[in-house]
Amino acid sequence: MIPKKTYSNSQSCSDVSQNITRIVEPSFEFYSVFSQTEVLELIKALDVRREIPLKYAYKGGGAKIWHNFYQKYIIPKWYQPANVEIDLLQQNFAYITGSYQSCQKINIVDVGAGNSYPVKKFISQLKKLGKINKYIALDISQELLKVSKANFTKWFPKIDFDSCTVDIENSPISPEILGNFNSMQIKDIANIFLHLGVTIGNHQDRNRVWQNFRNSMDKNDLLVFTNEIGSNSQWDGKVRGGCKYHVEGIYTWMTNNLGISSEDCQLVRKYDLKTDSITANIKFLQNYTLKFSQWGIDQTVEISQDEEITIWRHHKYQMPELTQELDTAGLQIVHSSSNKYLSHIMVICKPADCET
């Protein structure tokens, strides 16, 4: 079913083109992808922050957009530079699996696993060491978890695979998901939580994400993540990578599913001072009323001509800011290293208040 559109003209005839308000309702696909709770969170984010959180753009048809973008632009090819995540995992292998780990085995808990491609080489090395207990793929997107499972079980048919949908911005990872059923298991199996693909820079509430990671961790566990390093405000304005290709896919998918005509909007990318991030926004060229009426929800969001709605964002860190955020969440950096261009960093953290 295509999104419903109606037009309401509350103004005088002479001014019609200027004052039309388009009233639209999201598509059938939209309501089949998001749960009631997610629709309510999305409406609130639209209403209060003028944002559709990027995390929702990986669900439903958005999973295919990410996977296609990944296959086309991120998997290394002879004409394409090496993959930052794979390289940094290689570079930090010894630290991640190192001797300070007193446990016999490790679970790799890949949070925001996507298609799991970045961990393929890393898992292969762990397998050779006989150290891996289980790979657990967690993601907000059920559809990407299916891709992850198909890939992982093909690559490693003999390694235990588990998966679960999780929104790491909203809650910690439960012990049931990790399989921590008794204290002996916790002692012998450490969890290595991965948060790769510079995903931390995409979240709206990064502090809640850090806190949720910290609350998921035990004393032997580690958190390993990547992000871009540098100044957001000195962005050169050039769109590349995800900011170009992923954003284009999300923009088309979102506007189509919300029922916004292509001639009524524009894609704008800019530095946003308020969030100190690079953002991609839908700029409205008409007044719009987005009407949400499903599962007993009956809410509208009014968007005026020239207003912008953020659909993608990325925050680069400066090291002091990152250390401060981690510190506040009770996480302590044990090691970090950057790629050769000094654009990306991999950070390994442990719970700050636990003796190892």
**Separation between Cα atoms, residue 9 and residue 259, nearest integer Å:** 18
Which listed residue (166, 254, 278, 347) binds ligand SAM by CB under 6 A?
166
Which listed residue (26, 112, 249, 259) binds ligand SAM by CB under 6 A?
112
196 versus 303: smaller Cβ distance to ligand SAM: 196
The pair of structure tokens assigned to 227 is 């992000």
Supply the DSSP string of 141-160, one letter for each residue.
-HHHHHHHHHHHHHH-TTSE
Please report whether residue 167 would count as binding ligand SAM according to CB under 6 A. Answer: yes
Asked if 166 contacts 154 with a C-beta cutoff of 8 angstroms, the reply is: no
Please report whether residue 286 would count as binding ligand SAM according to CB under 6 A. Answer: no
Q: How far is the CB of 7 from ligand SAM (least distance, A)?
A: 35
Contact region with ligand SAM (CB under 6 A), list: 135-143, 212-220, 264-272, 316-324: 135-143
Please report whether residue 144 would count as binding ligand SAM according to CB under 6 A. Answer: yes
Please report whether residue 140 would count as binding ligand SAM according to CB under 6 A. Answer: yes
Supply the DSSP string of 11-75, one letter for each residue.
S-GGGHHHHEEEEEE--HHHHHHS-HHHHHHHHHIIIIISB--GGGGGSTHHHHHHHHHHHHHTS
Residues sharing a CB contact under 8 Å with residue 147, sequence separation 6 or more, in sequence order? 63, 67, 114, 115, 116
Asked if 140 contacts 113 with a C-beta cutoff of 8 angstroms, the reply is: no
The alpha carbon dihedral of 312, 318, 319, 320 has a sign of: negative
Touching ligand SAM, residues 24-53 (CB under 6 A): none
Angle between helices 120-129 and 142-155 (to 10 degrees): 50
Contact region with ligand SAM (CB under 6 A), list: 109-117, 175-183, 252-260, 321-329: 109-117
**Separation between Cα atoms, residue 102 and residue 331, nearest integer Å:** 19
Q: How far is the CB of 124 from ligand SAM (least distance, A)?
A: 16
Please report whether residue 347 would count as binding ligand SAM according to CB under 6 A. Answer: no
Q: How far is the CB of 9 from ligand SAM (least distance, A)?
A: 40
Please report whether residue 199 would count as binding ligand SAM according to CB under 6 A. Answer: yes
Which listed residue (47, 162, 169, 218) binds ligand SAM by CB under 6 A?
169
* H or E element that contains 258: helix 247-258
User: How many residues form the binding site for ligand SAM (CB under 6 A)?
Assistant: 18
Which listed residue (26, 60, 114, 259) binds ligand SAM by CB under 6 A?
114
Which positions lie near ligand SAM, rule CB under 6 A?
55, 58, 85, 112-114, 118, 139-141, 144, 166-169, 196-197, 199
